[in-house]
Structure 1
Amino acid sequence: MRPNALLHPALSLLLTATLVAQSAPPPLAGTALPPASAMPLPYDRGSAAVWQGLQKLRTRASLLTVNAHPDDEDGAMMAYEARGKGVDASLFVLTRGEGGQNVMSGDYWDQLGLVRTQELLASTGYEGIHLYFGRFADYGFSKTLEEAHKQWGHETVLRDAVRIVRILRPMVVTSSFNGNFADGHGQHQVSGEMAQEVFNAAADPNMFPEQIKEGLLPWKVQKVYARVPFARVTEKGIFDYATTRWEPVVFHNYVNTTDIKTLPSVTVQVPVGDYSYVLANNYSAIAREGLAQQRSQNGGIGPALPAPQNSAYHLWATRATTSMPEKESDFFEGIDTTLPAIADYLPAAERNPWQQQLIRLATTVADAGTHFDPADPGKVVP
């Protein structure tokens, strides 16, 4: 029996697959089933996947995080943004972490870089984000920002950071680090510095013109944030664990080249402890499941207990034209992330017909979201 060739191609394929499944012989005794690792995560199946698909359909928000090594990431924040808010979230890691420790095996340097690459791939699957790696060698525990620049080259790192921004075109860039002594060591500081410097560099057509010739047009990031440091400030200043020296409390803004002589203030509190009834978990716990895959550095990590929890970020730069409050509700406050705003990329004379179609599309997506029922996800099919 063959499916009718006049059927819709997708339906024909479904019928063919069904017939093959019905006619396939039963597995031989002792045949192993596919391992659980070959299956999509529970968060990417069933009603949870439908709900997240609807979240992503209703927004054009995008975010890029820049860090130095695997396990530097704020996984809870990224899980909240990607899975909870539908943001198109990506992670750019400068190194493979080959200069780190290994408590699980005798693999070091290049072999450890392969291990940590696979660990981070598994980990980011839980967070629901895209992953990109840089080409820089993790040469071990670095002392200062200047040392890391000497090893990697400031312009070389900035060139690659600008390239990934011009490829992905994110609205918001974040980092776990601020480019300060409080970051822990030099490689961390470079990633925090780069997350800020791309704000101006990626938008400047005179920066790395070879990329422009390749078709990577300038891109204006709308906002740059960094995680508020955990450093303790005393009358001596901030203790730099890399150099074992006390340093003055000075945080440099690499966008406008000014300094603040206090800990960066909290602009946004990301509610990573929020519970999702559809995902049946809170975002911090989901991220901890991912971090548990990165065993080489710490042997694995336990689950997060359900509790209110926030991840605090400081705003370093913005292009938002509206007056921004001192405390923002989220990273995208002041940015139009709606679907109709996609028409703004067109010349003014051509926007209206496209905007009207996008408004109709947004209305349909909102209607599907209203009718979503996790116990009966098929209700959104129409």
Structure 2
Amino acid sequence: MKRSSIILTLLLTFTLTSWCQAPKVWKSGNIYQAIEKLNFLGSVLYVAAHPDDENTRLISYYSNHVKARTAYLSLTRGDGGQNLIGPEIRELLGVIRTQELLSARRIDGGEQMFSRANDFGYSKNPEETLKIWDRDEVLSDVVWSIRKFKPDVIINRFEHNPTRTTHGHHTSSAILSYEAFDLSGRKDIYSDQLSKVEPHQPRRLFMNTGWWFYGSRDAFEKADKSDLLTLDIGTYYPILGKSNSEIAAESRSQHKCQGMGNTGSRGTSMEYIKLLKGDMPASGTNVFEGINTTWSRVEGGSHIGPMVEKIIENFSFTDPSASVPHLVKVYSEIQQLEDGYWKTVKSQDIKEIIQACMGLYMEATSNEHLYAPRSEISIRFEATNRSSVSSFINKITLEGTGFDTLLNVELSNNKPFILNKKTTIKESVNLTAPYWLTEEGTLGMYKVKDQKLIGDPESERSIKAHFNLNIDGVEIKYTQQVPYKYNSPEDGPVYRPLEITPELFVTTGDKVYIFNKGQSKDVEVKVKSAASDQSGKVYLPLPEGWTTQPEFHDFNIAQKGAEQSFTFQVTPPSSQSEIFVSPIVEANGKKYSQEMVSIDYDHIPYQSVLLEPKAKLVNIDININGRYIAYIQGAGDEIPTNLEQVGYQVEELSIDDITSETLSRYNAVVMGIRAYNIWDNLRFKQAEILDYVNKGGTLIIQYNTSRRLKTDQLGPYPFTLSRQRVTVEEAPVTILAPEHPVMSTPNKITGADFEGWVQERGLYFPNEWDEKYTPILASNDPGEDPLKGGLLVAPFGDGWYVYTGYSWFRELPAGVPGAYRIFANMLSLGNTVRP
């Protein structure tokens, strides 16, 4: 393939990456706006660090008002944050946040890009961030993204040289963008990229500033703004029936796992951007001033602009199909241009507009969601032309299979063309998996071997349908996703991604198994089939010192989608030991060792993730008292399952379940993370909860944030939540009260119990508290003062109250031995003698 063809294929793949959605509904206003956008050949790239860092007001403004091609480059996928809607953390949270960003872009009109940087958690300075990320590799990704997207203008969200403490990821995103601006146009920098992309030098680099960078609104009002561009982004779009701010709010509200619901506003709304590099636009408002954004920037394309302008002038909102003959002529003229960036972008845009004007409904759907390579697949093709425009289907091809059929079928007005076919999926198709998770990366970087994939928001699906049409005498090819489609009695048509998977999956029943003092425990292993008539053996390989009975199980699964469970009795060594184990299936002359994890939320497409089926087995010395535990979930975590691993009987309660009588049945009550941020009605139960403590119960409240706190009385005595945190997981921990029961009974806690922690020590520690609380631990990041508010304990009446900001929701699921021992001591407080 020629180099120019590789570049254009790469660009087309990037523009088409939005899979498994119901067909887009185009209204006349959307079509008109898209035609207007045909005549603007300019692009903006917005750069920041995480999902939710982006300013959706500016993205919507440039996409919908200026009509520029607009994208957001988020250096990470937000893997290291918290999840307010479910238990997913780390890589699975990154999958959710990726899809939330894509949902946001579908609303505000932008596109989405990423680097390989892994969000490893909060970082207090860019030096740490850039060391963990691998500075040069992430910089190369930013350069790659610029060369791939070819922005005229780049806008950074954050300062590259901040004068105040901020998130290290934020500053790093600005530093790398600042450097990449000058490097992306040089042929001698990352020259290995140049077989796939061309050097590109943007014209201007800005920073999206505002009062928060000045410390207060008053300080910003008084500041010299002569070097700022001022934009009124509150514009109203009559053809859409929404203001820019309302669109932006709807877009931002897609960040549901971060609680970013936003109420739209109307009226004037100002944004400010500061020039960092390039020439200052004289107008003070137009970032594209002096940049040719007309068709004349494309060689031989000057005549296309007037053709599009005439279509705009004559557009009929009641009959968009009247524009199709003229749009087809424009499409033909674009195809006569030399191959290049804008030819590829605008060819795809005008194809979608032609389809929308015709009301041309095309889809290819499957009646199942799960397939293995070499299996038979049934596809229903539909094409319905809801206009009088002359059109024919000449050919349909199903990529990833052997199906290819020549046709000569006229698509008459409002007469559906339906074709049902069975074919076989090729053995060579790629399995369905997020491309950045197919190989093990590092703490700071995902591993992606294929350079062409870097920047893409998600993996391209293997099964696609290609419709070759003749529209008004011109050949036009359309590519459609192939989802699984079914009818729900409640929701009507539902679309779900079509998954190509191994024939067999295998997983363990739990991700962590805690063994106490060398005692044996059953480990459950599940085998699931993605094809019928599968038989073989399943093993649980263990290292020396660990044993299992039996050595293997035979399985025979007749039906596709069925699952069988098996039990291995595992015995650990007598000494403390931690291992990771991955079950293996042998069948069909092959070995299988992958599990499929499903993520199902209403606001994003159904996600299936193939991962190594890794479980952690930990043999520890742990004692427990008070086995009956009530757990009230907050944002969602897996701690109840983890506690059951060490012998507790845990019952999850709803807020409505909380009564004095109910709570009295339990030795301890545990509040899940952010419970007091999530549940409005929890404040009405707080008196009963504290009364439970007063009468002898033990209450453990895990971290909450001061923002959106539902009560002003978290504890029996006052304390103040802060944003203080310890981000370094290896940070030294000092035991301030070694003889306190929470550090001594029933497990004697030592420095060894703070080894092997993951991601962080804790977050949102209290920074002020009543003297009746005993601070138990102190820890701090390098160069900072010790923070003593991470674990506060106070007797209250006959019971115990505990507030803790340490990250048990990460440490227990990660199988950290010391975390279990300390948590057991907290739960045991009601069964100990007070100091």
SS at match of 2:284: coil
- Distance in 2 separating the partners of 1:66 and 1:331: 16
How far is the alpha carbon of 1:91 from its aligned partner?
Answer: 1.5
Does 2:206 correspond to 1:225?
Answer: yes
Residue pairs, 1:278-317, within 5 angstroms: 278-298=239-259, 300-317=260-277
Q: Is the 8 A contact 2:125 2:166 kept in 1?
A: no
Q: Quick one: which amino acid aligns to residue 335 of structure 1?
A: I
Q: Is the 8 A contact 2:295 2:303 kept in 1?
A: no
SS at match of 2:112: strand
Q: Quick one: which amino acid aligns to residue 341 of structure 1?
A: R
SS at match of 1:359: coil
- Of 25, 39, 43, the residue aligned with 1:62 is 43
How far is the alpha carbon of 1:228 from its aligned partner?
Answer: 0.9
Runs of 4+ in 1 over 4 A off after TM superposition: 232-235, 262-266
Quick one: structure 1 residues 284 and 39, their matched pair in 2 at CA, closer, same or farther if it must change by over 3 Å?
farther
- Distance in 2 separating the partners of 1:189 and 1:166: 22
How far is the alpha carbon of 1:378 from its aligned partner?
Answer: 4.5
Quick one: structure 1 residues 183 and 52, their matched pair in 2 at CA, closer, same or farther if it must change by over 3 Å?
farther
Name the counterpart of 1:211: 193
How far is the alpha carbon of 1:79 from its aligned partner?
Answer: 1.1
Q: Is the 8 A contact 1:174 1:224 kept in 2?
A: yes
Q: Quick one: which amino acid aligns to residue 70 of structure 1?
A: P
Name the counterpart of 1:360: 303
- Of 274, 277, 281, the residue aligned with 2:238 is 277
Q: Quick one: which amino acid aligns to residue 307 of structure 1?
A: G
How far is the alpha carbon of 1:266 from its aligned partner?
Answer: 5.3
TM-score, reference length from structure 2: 0.34
Q: Quick one: which amino acid aligns to residue 309 of structure 1?
A: S
How far is the alpha carbon of 1:63 from its aligned partner?
Answer: 1.3
Residue pairs, 1:20-169, within 5 angstroms: 38-40=22-24, 45-169=26-150
Q: Is the 8 A contact 1:90 1:131 kept in 2?
A: yes
Q: CA RMSD in A?
A: 2.6
Q: Is the 8 A contact 2:187 2:199 kept in 1?
A: yes
State the identity as a percent.
27
Q: Quick one: which amino acid aligns to residue 333 of structure 1?
A: E
- Distance in 1 separating the partners of 2:153 and 2:186: 17
How far is the alpha carbon of 1:39 from its aligned partner?
Answer: 4.7
Does 2:178 correspond to 1:188?
Answer: no
The structure in which a higher percent of residues are strand is 2
Q: Is the 8 A contact 1:144 1:185 kept in 2?
A: yes
- Distance in 1 separating the partners of 2:165 and 2:103: 25
Q: Is the 8 A contact 1:97 1:113 kept in 2?
A: yes
How far is the alpha carbon of 1:183 from its aligned partner?
Answer: 7.9
- Distance in 1 separating the partners of 2:224 and 2:168: 19
Q: Quick one: which amino acid aligns to residue 266 of structure 2?
A: P
How far is the alpha carbon of 1:263 from its aligned partner?
Answer: 7.8
Q: Is the 8 A contact 2:123 2:167 kept in 1?
A: yes
> Which ranges of structure 2 fall in alignment gaps of 5 or more residues?
1-20, 327-835
Quick one: structure 1 residues 331 and 324, their matched pair in 2 at CA, closer, same or farther if it must change by over 3 Å?
closer
- Distance in 1 separating the partners of 2:226 and 2:167: 22
Quick one: structure 1 residues 47 and 157, their matched pair in 2 at CA, closer, same or farther if it must change by over 3 Å?
same
Name the counterpart of 2:290: 334
How far is the alpha carbon of 1:275 from its aligned partner?
Answer: 0.2
Does 2:140 correspond to 1:197?
Answer: no
Quick one: structure 1 residues 215 and 111, their matched pair in 2 at CA, closer, same or farther if it must change by over 3 Å?
closer
Q: Quick one: which amino acid aligns to residue 50 of structure 2?
A: H
Q: Quick one: which amino acid aligns to residue 249 of structure 2?
A: R
> Which ranges of structure 1 fall in alignment gaps of 5 or more residues?
1-36, 239-261, 344-353
Where relative contact order (Cα < 8 A, 6+ residues apart) is larger, the structure is 1
1:101-148 Cα distance to aligned partner (Å, 9 max, x none): 222212111121111111111111101122112111111111011111
SS at match of 1:100: coil
- Distance in 2 separating the partners of 1:63 and 1:221: 9
- Distance in 1 separating the partners of 2:75 and 2:165: 15
Q: Is the 8 A contact 1:69 1:96 kept in 2?
A: yes
Q: Is the 8 A contact 2:43 2:70 kept in 1?
A: yes
TM-score, reference length from structure 1: 0.73
Which one has a bigger Cα radius of gyration? Answer: 2
The structure in which a higher percent of residues are helix is 1
- Distance in 2 separating the partners of 1:165 and 1:187: 19
How far is the alpha carbon of 1:210 from its aligned partner?
Answer: 1.5
How far is the alpha carbon of 1:229 from its aligned partner?
Answer: 4.0
